[in-house]
Structure 1
Amino acid sequence: MHTVAVLVLDDVVAFDMAVPLEVFGRVRLPDGRRPYRLLVCGITREVPTETFTVHAPWGLEALADADTIIVPGASEYAGAPPEEVLAALRAAAARGTRIASICSGAFILAATGLLDGLAATTHWVGTDLLARLHPKIEVRPNVLYVDNGQLLTSAGAAAGLDLCLHMVRRDLGSAVAADAARLSVMPLEREGGQAQFIVHQQPPVPKGSLLEPVLSWIEENLGQDLTLEAMAARCRMSERTFSRRFREQTGTTPLQWLLRSRVRRAQYLLETTDHTVERIAEQAGFGSPTAFRERFKRVCGTTPQSYRASFRSTA
């Protein structure tokens, strides 16, 4: 029997914690046997969540018996985990234990140093912070999960379902995993590949910046054929000077900013209107439906149709 330990710390996110219990607890082999034994472990027996208190029957010493350790997210992203927790996770990794994080649990796993030099992900809201706090980690913001073999990380709590099902499939094969997915009312593989659905926010521009007027003009004219030359002329600068100052103040290029703005406009239209893809491509300034589909998928990791199916407002 494979032992899965779910490590719950103060302010654990309730849904993150429930995900591995839901998935691994429902797995059955063809003969009806349960292949996983679940342990809920903590530093203390009573662990608060944002809505209720969790009883943790096992302490950190139980991690020594685990084949897999799951680290759910906590409500505070950047808080330093207790050293005894970090030591227990490092010791488990040294024994070859598989360790996976869900959502902001990646911050706890990152604090051990075990992810240094590896790729990882977390909820898209926290990817920039994770990269800033742990520059040795290759943070991938656009995926549902990252599997490094022994160490795995997932994006938001829902992506934790994908990750847990992925581990079941790795352990027991696709047929058993597919059955677990049906019991959890989840597809074994989500449409759209392994991409987080992200509303891409633009980098902040300093107040009073010379770029503020031109950025407002860009937002108001996304449906037009905007060129670098036109944007530079709007600021009465050469293209070279405009590009340099734009990157200095935003950390990105004018054309990349324009692409992100157009994608955000398209996301809004896909969510709130019944407009055809052809009309949205025109309204957002992509020129053609083909260009729209290709660039939207490059940025969002999924097609416009799949995005609309997932996020179309019914209000």
Structure 2
Amino acid sequence: MRTVLVVLFDDVQSLDVSGPVEVFNGAERHCPGTYRIRTVTADGGQVRTSSGLTLVPDHSFADAPAAHTLLVPGGEGTRRPDPGLVDWLREQGPRAERLVSVCSGALLLAEAGLLDGRRVTSHWSVCARLARDHPCVEVDPDPIFVRDGKLATSAGVTSGIDLALALVEEDIGRDIALSVARHLVVFLRRPGNQAQFSAQLTAQTARREPLREVQQWITEHPGADLSVDALAARARLSPRHFARAFQTETGMTPGRYVDRVRLEHARRLLEDTADGVEEISRACGYGTPEAMRRAFVRTLGTAPAEYRRRFRPAPVH
């Protein structure tokens, strides 16, 4: 029996709490005796979430059970942390077998000194602050979740569900995690090193119409000739001018943008279709399965076939 102890405080983000709790509770329903979920506040009193919901905890700090997994959600309440909460985390964090933060909950762990020397992520909106205020913490703003030993941090909101599913898979196996995911109508889980944003959301939208049209063309035609020369011709600019203007206006080189679009398209085809790897590599502009394999290993740390095995939902019978 693993006790999952969820810390609550005023202005906590309700989905940061309920998302992971639903995952662990679903795993407990499928495999009784696996998880015991408890919530805790400083004084045992109820708290109000940032969306106005009222949550009633099971425990106060004084009578909280020992945690196997100590989970710290995010929300507006993390931006002005309560010193008593930070002190309690500083004391209890090292005692937990697994320390987890969702969204800006990483700010509370950092204030407690529990992230020093560790690689972490958080919601994109607080990563700069986390890095600035805590220079001893290695902040990676891109992934949806990061594992570093017994520490696990996530980007927040729905990525807390992805991280919780990964932890369930680690604890009791892929079949249970898949059953929970299917019940929640989500993929088994997105890989932790998947970017928080798609290429289209990461890159800025170009100001000039020809460049915006090129961005859209790339998204709709990942298998086309997307060389700088070809894209520059479509924008009616010289290759040199196009490359410079594209990076200035989008914050990303044309090659980097193309790489991300192709990878995202290949991932979707692997997840959503039964097409073969060779067919997908051609459709996404890689040309050969080996070129696509290199792109997957470089960015996601896994080959396309393994990615499909792990992340494509099984058919419902």
TM over 0.5: yes
Change (3 A) 1:53 1:216: closer
Across the aligned residues of Structure 1 and Structure 2, the Cα RMSD in angstroms comes to 4.4
> Quick check: 1:84 aligned with 2:80?
no
**For 1:65-214, what aligned pairs fall within 5 Å after superposition?**
66=66, 70-74=70-74, 79-93=79-93, 100-104=99-103, 105-112=105-112, 114-122=114-122, 126=123, 128-135=124-131, 136=135, 137-139=138-140, 141-142=142-143, 144-149=145-150, 151-154=151-154, 155-163=159-167, 177-178=171-172, 195-196=193-194, 200-202=198-200, 203-208=203-208, 211-214=211-214
Q: Deviations over 1:6-49 (max 9, x none)?
A: 31234442232355677799797xxxxx9x98753113433456
Q: CA deviation at 1:227?
A: 1.8
SS in 2 for 1:156: helix
Partner SS for 1:71: strand
The residue correspondences of 1:52-71 to structure 2 (distance < 5 A) are: 54-62=55-63, 66=66, 70-71=70-71
Q: Which moved more, 1:257-266 or 1:6-15?
A: 6-15
AA aligned to 1:101 is V
- Give me the identity figure in percent: 26
Letter in 2 for 1:14: S
- Code of the residue aligned with 1:129 in structure 2: it is S
State how far apart, in whole Å, the 2-side matches of 1:183 and 1:268 are: 20
Tell me the distance in 1 between the aligned counterparts of 2:189 and 2:59. 38
CA distance in 1, matches of 2:140, 2:290: 30
CA contact (8 A) 2:121 2:142 kept: yes
Alignment partners' CA distance in 2, 1:8 and 1:280: 45
Deviation at 1:101, TM superposition (A): 1.9
Does the 8 Å CA contact 1:247/1:253 hold for their aligned counterparts?
A: yes
Per the alignment, in what secondary structure is the counterpart of residue 134 of structure 1?
helix
Gaps of 5+ in 1: 29-33, 167-176
Scaled by the length of structure 2, what TM-score is found? 0.67
CA distance in 2: counterparts of 1:270 and 1:206, whole angstroms: 30
Rounded Cα–Cα distance in structure 1 between residues aligned with 2:286 and 2:91: 52
The answer for unaligned runs of 5 or more in structure 2 is 182-187
CA offset at residue 70 of structure 1?
Answer: 1.3
C-alpha distance in 2 between matches for 1:8 and 1:40: 7
Determine whether 1:15 maps to 2:13.
no
Q: Which residue of 2 aligns with 1:216?
A: 216
User: 1:236 is matched with which residue?
Assistant: 237
Cα deviation digits, residues 223-275 of structure 1 (max 9, x gap): 22322233344442343x44333333222221110111112332343455443
TM-score norm. by structure 1 comes to 0.67
